[in-house]
Each structure stands twice: as structure tokens, then as C-alpha cells.
Amino acid sequence: MKRVVLVRTQGPRNVGSVMRAVANFGPCELVLVAPQRRSMLVHPDFTMMAHGVEKVRERIRVVPTLAEALVDATHSVGFTARPRDGRLRVDWRDRAADYRGLCDDEGHVVAFVFGSEADGLTAEETEACKELAYLPTSAEHQSLNLATAASIVLFTLYTGDAVHKRERGPRMASERQLRFLREHLKAVMGEKVARSLAAKQDIEESIERVFTRVPLESRDARAWHMMMRALGSKLAPRDFGIGGPPRDRRDDTQVRFGELDDSESAAE
């Protein structure tokens, strides 16, 4: 189980944003230690940033001390941007993989502790954490927003299934379709465009290079075939000894004029 612990938090917007990340990348608990505003969980900014999270206030536990927030934790990581005398801070990227398994183990409660927006974790608070870590940033700006930091950590630990449907991507032309396209282009361009044998050879070699190396969507392949037909071509795959797949046994007339369905006519 994951647990995010926010110590002496000042901003209701940050708390609302972290609550949203907890809901995004759970299961996870959120515990506030001595929040600096009594109105934190009823503040309009909190409500706005936690919008859409069901029973949001019931999901947040408020305790007076860090010790109470960590009392049943089997592991705890404090995040601090400042070096600490005598304590090793690890790059979070080097430890995230180790903690993923622990967080998914029902026998463990792993607490991720973040300090106040104003001054981070105190020396006493870091001593309460079993390990210290930092999130590496560029030299341009080394300070991370509290909610952003917590969201990054939760995202890197998330191992659940994504609920977003996979978006339908472009249909790429198959190798058989690309072969027909290359042969079709060379046949038409070599006859109708080239003015000499040398030009014909150059055109055919260029077509072979370009249409072999570049990934091509089926709709683009179809567009090139339409251009060849506009130049008078009625060539079909079988004219080049290129047979259709087993489930495509329709006659050449359909293939020549692009009357196949999308699955088969993509590059024909």
C-alpha cells in the first residue's frame, strides 16, 4: 500500500492536486500532518483542485505528528531538495523500481513524505524517515512544486491498468502493399516521365530507396495509386506477380479500381 504524507502543508490547492494524483495512481492513502490552515479541506481552492474525486474529505486523514503518520509504515522515504549532513540522499530514479514491488505487496505500507512548501522537511522530520531521496531537475530551476513532486512519485510507482482506451492509430501499409506501390510507380514513371534510359534508371532507383525506407500509411499509398491511375494506369498487383493474401481472392478488376475494403485496399 502506498501512503502520501504531507507535513505542515500550507496550500489548499496543493492538497487538492495531490488528492487528485492519489486517485489517479492509487490505491493510495493521503495523510496530512499538522496542516497550516484549519479550513484546508473546505477551502474553495481545495475543492476546485480535487474536483471529480468522490468522497474526497473522507479519504484524507489528519494527524498532529509525523510519528503518528508513520506508526504502521514498514518503509518511509522523505523527499528533500537540500543535502543533509550525515544522510545519504538517493536519486529517486535509482530507487523507484525497488519500491514498486513493495507498494503492490499487501504486507507493506510505504510512506512517501513531503515537507512544507515554505521550507521542506526539517532535520527532525528527515530523521523520522528511513530513507531520503530527491527528484533530479535541470540546473535552470531546481525547485519543484509540492503537488508536482508527489504526482511524479506516484506516477512512477503506478503499476495498475490504464483505463483510457487505446486511440486508433494510422493503418500502416503492409510489405506486400508497399511492394506493389514501388512496382506500380516504377512502371508508370519509367514509361511516362523518364526521357532517357539513364533518367528511367535514376527514377526507379529513387523510388526503390524512398518507398523502402520511409514508413508509409495506407492512405498515402492509396493516394499514390490514384495519381498513377490518373496517368492512365490500370495495373494491378497480379500484373507484377504479387498475389493477394489468402482471404483476398477477388478479381483484378476490383483491385485495379480500388474497390476493396480498407483492410485490403489500403495500398492497392
Q: How confident is the model at residue 113 (pLDDT cuts 50, 70, 90)?
A: very high
For residue 195, give the C-alpha cell. 526521357
Residue 160: the pLDDT is 80
Q: How confident is the model at residue 164 (pLDDT cuts 50, 70, 90)?
A: low
**Calpha distance 77→99 (Å, rounded):** 10
Per the structure, the count of domains in the chain is 2
Q: Please check whether residue 49 is in contact with residue 17, taking contact to mean a CB–CB distance below 8 angstroms.
A: yes
> Does one domain contain both 10 and 141?
yes
Q: How confident is the model at residue 257 (pLDDT cuts 50, 70, 90)?
A: very low
Q: pTM of this prediction?
A: 0.63
User: Is the pLDDT confidence value at 251 over 50?
Assistant: no
Amino acid identity, residue 71?
Answer: V
- Beta-bridged to residue 76, according to DSSP, are 111
Q: What is the mean pLDDT of residues 227-253?
A: 73
- Beta-bridged to residue 253, according to DSSP, are none
Residue 111 lies in a domain: yes
Amino acid identity, residue 94?
Answer: D
> Does one domain contain both 18 and 145?
yes
User: Is the pLDDT confidence value at 161 over 90?
Assistant: no
For residue 139, give the C-alpha cell. 540546473
Number of Cβ within a 10 Å radius of residue 186: 20
Residue 111's φ and ψ, nearest 5 degrees, are -100, 135
**Calpha distance 59→32 (Å, rounded):** 11
Mean pLDDT of all residues belonging to the chain: 86
Q: What is the mean pLDDT of residues 245-253?
A: 44
> Does one domain contain both 123 and 194?
no
Q: Is the peptide bond before 27 cis (omega within 30 degrees of 0)?
A: yes
> Does one domain contain both 180 and 148?
no
Q: Is 79 helix (H, G, I), strand (E, B) or coil?
A: strand
> Does one domain contain both 18 and 101?
yes
**Calpha distance 180→156 (Å, rounded):** 45
Within a 13 Å sphere around the CA of 233, how many CA atoms are in the beta-carbon half?
Answer: 26
Segment 39-97, tens digit of pLDDT = 999 999 999 999 989 989 899 999 999 999 999 999 999 999 888 777 889 999 999 99
User: Is the pLDDT confidence value at 163 over 50?
Assistant: yes
Number of Cβ within a 10 Å radius of residue 251: 9
* From 164-168, 206-210, 212-216, 236-240, the region with the lowest mean pLDDT: 164-168
> Does one domain contain both 6 and 133?
yes
> Does one domain contain both 124 and 240?
no
Residue 162 lies in a domain: no
> Does one domain contain both 72 and 148?
yes
Q: Which domain holds residue 139?
A: 2-157
**Calpha distance 213→26 (Å, rounded):** 43
**Calpha distance 36→11 (Å, rounded):** 8
Q: How confident is the model at residue 265 (pLDDT cuts 50, 70, 90)?
A: very low
Query: To the nearest whole percent, how much of the chain has pLDDT over 90?
Result: 58
Angle between helix axes 92-104 and 146-157 (nearest 10 degrees) is 60
